Amino acid sequence: MSASLHLSVPYWRSDPSFQCLCDLVAGDKLVCITGAGISSRLAQKADPSKTVPQWPGLLEALFRTFEERLGDADRDDCLRLLRLDRGGPGKEPPSGRDLILAASILRAVSPAEFDTAFRTAVTNADGSFSENHSVLLEVKPAGILTFNYDSGHENAARASGIPLEPLMAGDEAALRQALAQPRRPFYLKAHGSLDSTSELVLTEESYRQLLVKSPVYRGFVQNILTNFDLLFVGFRINDPDFDLFIDSIANQFGSPLREHVAVFHERERTVNDIALRRRYGIRICYVKDFADIPKMLRHALKVPGPKLSEYLTMALSRSREERDAAHRHFGRLGEAGRVCASNVLRERVDEFSASGKHFDLSELAYSLGIIDPRANKDILMHLVASAQHADPAGRALTVLRSVLTVSDVPQLQTWLERYSSNPLLGDGSNRVAKYLDYLLTYIPAKFRS
């Protein structure tokens, strides 16, 4: 491999966590859990020369604001909780629980002033969003659960023409409705919104109110933990939201029920990775720069993971049992997975056609129809038009039936005339012509009924 080719291969491509991410992105059970990191490069509305801060920096700034009004004990506790009592590059960062406790102490000094200062600091400029907000919509998740208060997700959705109405943790009626009639993608702002006058979740007491005294919210989150695969983006290892959310996974289930992936910066690599993977089923995918996250996710959209790769191989197996298993898996793909799987199979059409692999071409055609007959209609029509053998043509027509319309009738008539007079190889009974004759009756009748 040449040096230039080697450098063109993304450094995360061989990472098992990235390969797992590819499979999660391909499925229809992906929920994105987002933290402050995806908004950290957005400009503040109050001062566009500054960016939206993350928890440690924000609380340190608030501590400096309230420091002179703190009692000695509260001041000392905040210094220790925020690790401001000792400096140096190797200092241990505060844990998520430490940050929440420090916020509780600071807010007690003057709740109204604290809330105003907090809201001002984390309010992003009007209409602003990051590339991370955009790419999370591109992976077509079943839902987004954010611990952020800003409007980054809404702004990105509006710019993309995607409806994204926020659910609030305290709106029990809306949460019940969302549980009874799920919408895709759902969008839950777990800790409140800057667009609302309702109190934001900032302190230990507000966390407790949310997790303990809101059974509908707890049920909504439990449904996510039980039935979906999670992608965590925009968190730090010591992020209070990540910390407490992981605790909820442990308290609810004790051991992983599904596979999840979290994206962190490589400088946060610690032995804690092992506990996250083994205890909570969370694999860590590290990036060298947060700007690499959109590149990585877009790459994951194009690359089949190990599971999808296996089923794409099984779809061409001589074993009927294996092919059936592959077709069932294709039915569980999400929109992104269907595009990825289709692209992989479409790339092999010319190869199989040129080599005369009629069985493989036949099963490939059927799989394309199982994955997404509408999106693959063009290639399936091409397979019928260019077929040299009855099997691929017949299989393609079988899966085309559901997406053919009256506008396709002239083409079907042309094919019927051709294949009636010149049967394809392997078509002693002229079954392709017979099936075309059936479709010429079925399609008009379908659209008249």
- Tokens encoding 82: 């925020």
Cα distance between residue 184 and residue 425, in whole Å: 46
Cα distance between residue 282 and residue 411, in whole Å: 51
Q: Say yes or no to pLDDT of 202 above 80.
A: no
Q: Please tell me the predicted confidence (pLDDT) of residue 250.
A: 63
Q: Please tell me the predicted confidence (pLDDT) of residue 255.
A: 59
Q: Say yes or no to pLDDT of 140 above 90.
A: yes
Q: Are 118 and 144 in contact (CB under 8 A)?
A: no
Q: Say yes or no to pLDDT of 150 above 70.
A: yes
Cα distance between residue 293 and residue 235, in whole Å: 12
Element (H, E) at 232: strand 229-233
Q: Please tell me the predicted confidence (pLDDT) of residue 261.
A: 93
Cα distance between residue 408 and residue 137, in whole Å: 34
List, for residues 53-69, the tens digit of each pLDDT value.
Answer: 888 888 999 999 999 99
Cα distance between residue 205 and residue 186, in whole Å: 27
List, for residues 329-354, the tens digit of each pLDDT value.
Answer: 999 999 999 999 999 999 999 888 88
Greatest mean pLDDT among 95-104, 121-130, 247-256, 362-371 lies in 362-371
Q: Please tell me the predicted confidence (pLDDT) of residue 4.
A: 35
Q: Please tell me the predicted confidence (pLDDT) of residue 251.
A: 66
Cα distance between residue 290 and residue 271, in whole Å: 21
Average confidence (pLDDT) over 79-91: 74
Q: Say yes or no to pLDDT of 385 above 70.
A: yes
Q: Say yes or no to pLDDT of 28 above 60.
A: yes
For 47, list phi and psi in degrees, rounded to 5.
Answer: -145, 90
Cα distance between residue 257 and residue 117, in whole Å: 40
Does the predicted TM-score (pTM) go above 0.85? yes
Q: Please provide the CATH number assigned to the domain covering 3-42+125-302.
A: 3.40.50.1220
